[in-house]
């Protein structure tokens, strides 16, 4: 009987996902199977009950979209001849087959280093570590490395897979070639990365957030390798752009992203639950592992949402247990509530370290006995502040076959959107009004009455 | 350099690049900050990798996104080319709140603009000089070997162009 070479599974977003024997082997590994137990949106299911989907299905979906995007980008009929000149030595069928295999494997493994509850506990990695460095380590320094090199039908290059999965930021001493940057951009690119496409669609589906959907099939069909336009005499480097027909799906993607941040990712109650979860895990790890996630792959993969949630459940029933108060808050649904949400016009104040420290000192003095948490985008180095628009190139080949322009979005709504931010103070519900009053007084002191009057106008 | 000083310096840089007639896109700011970090020894705390158009800091990109989101910087789409930065509607309010200032770095900013932006403001040139500087600081070899390496990583930069950029920038490095 001949060996089956193609496998398929049903997927809620992509209907069917097909994969080969090597991908099946990696999916079956304990490193990847662990992702079945890492929820994509940490504690968001306490707000949106359907949001119990995992990194497992997102990773498989990202692999599927990476393959689709690759096939469109490298299809002969989709090539802008001047743009692909930078790749001319590599546009050989054997090389392309190899790139495609590595790209799909990288997309499959791009999230393999996520800790339990995903981003909610990312701060509990040791200094200098995060889920990307963990992903790199699992791909390059674990049993999976040997499987990729020696246990597959083709010999995979783990270093290349890690490069494509996590990008140049984590390979400072090994500069990427232009084709490596392009393949990495297919997965995690700012404008058209398939990681983002899959998680937006999947999160929207599971949360029931219809506004998070967009026409990704059309968008992927219009992806092209393009040279962004430069002034005369300037050269540019290839990146992923779109044909003209992709402008509306791109606008829909940008709007969907905005709504998903506003309605789901920065939701104040899920932020409160994530805060309780992070605090509990910190206390738990203080006892278990010196306060941090272990970073050797075999110890790291022992932890999933399941083990942690089991500990939360046990701790909530024992007032002497480590992390009891946070566990009890989660179990009793006695989560923090919104005390104050900073308005867009106030947030710039807290880009000033001394002002931010002054507010934090004031709250610490006035509410020493109160449980609260100050969430400012500034606290996270701006990394959780999404850019609403990124420059992208557009090729309108029916009108001007050679010309490429920077894309101009047409929907005026995009001009009106303010970058979503997660700038608020959440607190114990008994004290939230007192905290609100305290912050309002602080802002008047800092900015003057005119500041509020201006707002009234 | 603390966060406040670094942000004021970024604001000053953006303002002065605009005043000098630079396009002041993200690439211009990235390269200017790289030159300031290496050639003027300013400890700005951004780490750089070799990326599209040469040395690039993902931390600086996050910082620009944050400053744009808070209205301290403004980014405008400018077809047919990419977007460019200027000081935003909250820039002056931000300055009035911050006690730090960039006066100590004015000469460094002025030198960087005079040396690399005043007459050309050409992204390709900025890329070549910044990549040459990155190679001199991070790779080992003769100037010819470094030029070869640059050409391998960035095929659109010829060996001659890379060598010429290395020779020019090595003088600034001294």
pLDDT score recorded for residue A2: 64
Mutate one of B24, B64, B65, B72 to test the A interface: name it (highest A CB count within 10 A): B65
Best of A85, A189, A235, A399 to disrupt the B interface by mutation (most B CBs within 10 Å)? A235
Q: What is the pLDDT of residue A454?
A: 61
Q: Tell me if chain A has a CB within 8 Å of the CB of B1.
A: no
* Residue B77 to residue A408, Cβ atoms within 8 A: yes
Report the distance separating Cα B110 and Cα B98, nearest Å: 22
Residues A83 and A171 in one domain: yes
The pLDDT tens digits of the residues spanning A313-323 come to: 999 999 999 99
CA A96, chain centre distance (Å): 28
Check CB contact of A355 with chain B, cutoff 8 Å: yes
Helix axes A143-150, A131-140, angle to 10 degrees: 50
**Are A33 and A73 in the same domain?**
yes
CB contact under 8 A, A229 and B80: yes
In a domain, A437, yes or no: yes
State the total domains in chain A. 2
Chain A, window 242-301: residues with a beta carbon less than 8 angstroms from a chain B beta carbon = none
**Same-domain pairing of A379 and A412:** no
Same domain? For A159 and A242 the reply is yes
pLDDT at A160: 98
Q: Domain check: are A22 and A78 in the same one?
A: yes
First to last CA, chain B: 24
Give every residue of chain B whose pLDDT is below 50, as ranges: none
The closest CB to that of B93, out of A234, A348, A389, belongs to: A348
The verdict on residue A275 lying in a domain is: no
Compute mean pLDDT per 10 residues along chain A, 457 residues long, and list them. Answer: 84 97 98 98 97 98 98 95 84 94 98 96 95 98 97 96 97 91 95 95 97 95 91 81 93 91 91 95 92 96 97 97 97 95 82 88 93 72 55 86 77 70 87 93 85 58
Cα–Cα dist A228/A405, whole Å: 7
- Residues A394, A411 share a domain: yes
Q: Which pLDDT value is given to residue A43?
A: 96
Is B49 an 8 Å CB contact of chain A?
Answer: yes
| A380 shares contact with chain B (CB less than 8 Å) | no
Do residue A360 and residue A251 come from a single domain? no
| Model ipTM value | 0.90
Q: Are residues A378 and A232 in the same domain?
A: no
Asked, for residue A302, whether it belongs to a domain, the answer is: no
CATH assignment of the domain containing A250: 1.10.3210.10
Say yes or no for a CB contact (<8 Å) between B66 and A351: yes
Q: Is B34 exposed, middle or buried (0-12, 13-18, 19+ CB in 10 A)?
A: buried
Residues 12-31 of B with CB under 8 A from A: none
The reply to whether A284 falls in a domain is no
At B174, is the secondary structure helix, strand, or coil? coil
Distances in Å between the Cα of B169 and the Cα atoms of B35, B111, B118, B141, B143 are 10, 14, 16, 15, 11
- Coil, strand or helix at B162: helix
Are A12 and A132 found together in one domain?
Answer: yes
SS (H, E, C) chain A: CCCCCEEEEEECCCEEEEEEHHHHHHHCCHHHHHHHHCECCCCHHHCCCCCCCEHHHHHHHHHHHHHHHHHHHHCHHHCCHHHHHHHHHHCCHHHHHHHHHHHHHHHHHCCCCCCCCHHHHHHHCCCCCCHHHHHHHHHHCCHHHHHHHHCCCCCCCHHHHHHHHHCHHHCCCCCCCHHHHHHHHHHHCCCCCHHHHHHHHHHHHHHCCHHHCCCHHHHHHCEEEECCCCCCCCCCCCEEEEEHHHHHHHHHHHHHHHHHHHHHHCCHHHHHHHHHHHHHHHHHHHHHHCCCCCCCHHHHCCCCHHHHHHHHHHHCCCCCCCCHHHHHHHHCCCCCEEEEECCHHHHHHHHCHHHHHHHHHHHHHHCCCCCEEEECHHHHCCCCCCCCCCCCEEECCCCCCCCEEECCCCCCHHHHCCCCCCCEEEECCCCHHHHHHHHHHHHHHHHCHHHHHHHHC
Domain hosting residue A341, numbered range: 336-385+421-457
A387 to chain B: closest CA residue: B65
User: Number of helices (H) and strands (E), helices first, in chain B?
Assistant: 8, 4
For chain B, what are the domain ranges?
1-120, 122-174
Count CB neighbours of A151 within 10 A.
Answer: 15
B1-120 fold: Arc Repressor Mutant, subunit A (1.10.10)
Give the DSSP letter of residue B157. S
CB within 8 Å: B52 and A383: no
Q: CA-CA distance, B83 to A437, in Å (whole number)?
A: 40
CB within 8 Å of chain A, chain B residues 116-155? 122-124, 138, 152-155
CA distance B158 to A198: 39
Residue A41 lies in a domain: yes
Instruction: Tell me whether residue A184 is in a domain.
Output: yes
DSSP code, position B118: T
- Residues A433, A401, single domain; the answer is no
A338 pairs with which residues across the strands? A426
Chain A residues touching residue B138 (CB < 8 angstroms):
173
Specify whether A248 is located in the same domain as A351: no
For residue A90, what pLDDT is reported?
82
- State the nearest Cα–Cα gap between B7 and chain A, in angstroms: 9
Give the CA radius of gyration of chain B: 16
Asked if B63 lies within 8 A of A172 by C-beta distance, the reply is no
CB pairs under 8 A between A and B: 126
Interface probe for B, chosen from A352, A395, A450, A451 (most Cβ of B below 10 Å), is A352
- Chain B CB within 8 Å of residue A343 CB: no
Distance from the Cα of A153 to chain B's closest Cα (Å) equals 30
Same domain, A256 and A110: yes
């Amino acid at each position: 009987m001949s060996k089956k070479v193609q496998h398929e599974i049903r997927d809620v977003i992509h209907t069917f996902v097909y994969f080969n024997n090597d991908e099946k082997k990696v999916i079956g590994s304990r490193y990847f199977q662990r992702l079945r137990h890492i929820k994509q949106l940490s504690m968001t299911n306490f707000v949106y009950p359907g949001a119990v989907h995992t990194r497992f299905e997102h990773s498989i979906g990202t692999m599927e979209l990476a393959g689709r995007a690759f096939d469109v980008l490298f299809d002969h009929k989709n090539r802008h001849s001047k743009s692909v000149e930078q790749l001319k030595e590599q546009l050989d069928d054997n090389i392309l087959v190899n790139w495609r295999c590595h790209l799909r494997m990288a997309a499959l493994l791009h999230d393999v280093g996520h800790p339990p509850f995903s981003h909610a506990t990312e701060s509990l990695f040791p200094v200098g570590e995060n889920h990307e460095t963990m992903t790199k380590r699992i791909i390059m320094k674990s049993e999976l490395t040997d499987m990729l090199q020696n246990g597959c039908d083709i010999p995979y290059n783990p270093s290349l897979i890690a490069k494509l999965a996590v990008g140049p930021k984590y390979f400072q001493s090994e500069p990427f070639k232009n084709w490596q940057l392009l393949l990495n951009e297919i997965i995690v690119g700012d404008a058209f990365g398939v990681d983002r496409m899959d998680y937006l669609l999947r999160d929207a589906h599971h949360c029931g957030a219809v506004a998070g959907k967009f026409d990704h099939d059309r968008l992927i069909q219009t992806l092209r390798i393009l040279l962004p336009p430069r002034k005369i005499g300037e050269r540019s480097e290839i990146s992923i752009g779109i044909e003209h027909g992709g402008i509306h799906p791109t606008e829909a993607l940008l709007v969907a992203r905005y709504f998903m941040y506003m309605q789901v990712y920065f939701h104040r109650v899920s932020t409160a639950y994530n805060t309780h979860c992070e605090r509990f895990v910190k206390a738990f790890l203080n006892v278990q592992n010196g306060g941090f996630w272990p970073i050797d792959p075999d110890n790291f993969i022992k932890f999933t949402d399941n083990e942690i949630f089991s500990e939360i459940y046990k701790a909530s029933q024992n007032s002497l247990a480590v992390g009891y108060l946070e566990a009890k808050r989660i179990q009793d649904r006695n989560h923090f509530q919104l005390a104050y949400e900073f308005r867009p016009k106030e947030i710039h104040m807290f880009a000033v370290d001394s002002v931010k420290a002054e507010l934090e000192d004031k709250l610490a003095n006035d509410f020493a006995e109160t449980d609260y948490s100050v969430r400012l985008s500034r606290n996270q180095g701006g990394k959780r502040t999404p850019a609403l628009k990124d420059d992208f190139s557009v090729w309108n080949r029916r009108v001007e076959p050679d010309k490429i322009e920077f894309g101009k979005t047409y929907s005026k709504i995009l001009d009106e959107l303010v970058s979503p931010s997660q700038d608020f103070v959440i607190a114990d519900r008994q004290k939230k009004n007192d905290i609100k009053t305290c912050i309002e007084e602080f802002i008047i002191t800092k900015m003057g009455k005119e500041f509020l009057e201006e707002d009234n106008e | 350099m603390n966060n406040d000083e670094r942000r004021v310096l970024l604001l000053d840089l953006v303002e002065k690049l605009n005043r000098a007639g630079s396009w002041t896109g993200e690439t211009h700011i990235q390269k200017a900050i790289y030159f300031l970090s290496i050639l003027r020894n300013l400890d700005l705390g951004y780490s750089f990798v070799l990326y599209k158009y040469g040395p690039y800091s993902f931390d600086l990109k996050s910082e620009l996104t944050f400053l744009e989101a808070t209205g301290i910087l403004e980014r405008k789409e400018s077809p047919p080319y990419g977007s460019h930065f200027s000081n935003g509607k909250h820039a002056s309010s931000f300055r009035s709140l911050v006690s730090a200032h960039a006066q100590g770095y004015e000469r460094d900013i002025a030198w960087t603009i005079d040396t690399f932006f005043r007459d050309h403001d050409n992204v390709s040139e900025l890329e070549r000089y910044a990549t040459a500087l990155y190679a001199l600081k991070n790779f080992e070899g003769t100037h010819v070997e470094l030029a070869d390496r640059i050409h391998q990583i960035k095929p659109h930069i010829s060996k001659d162009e890379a060598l010429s950029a290395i020779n020019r920038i090595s003088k600034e490095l001294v």
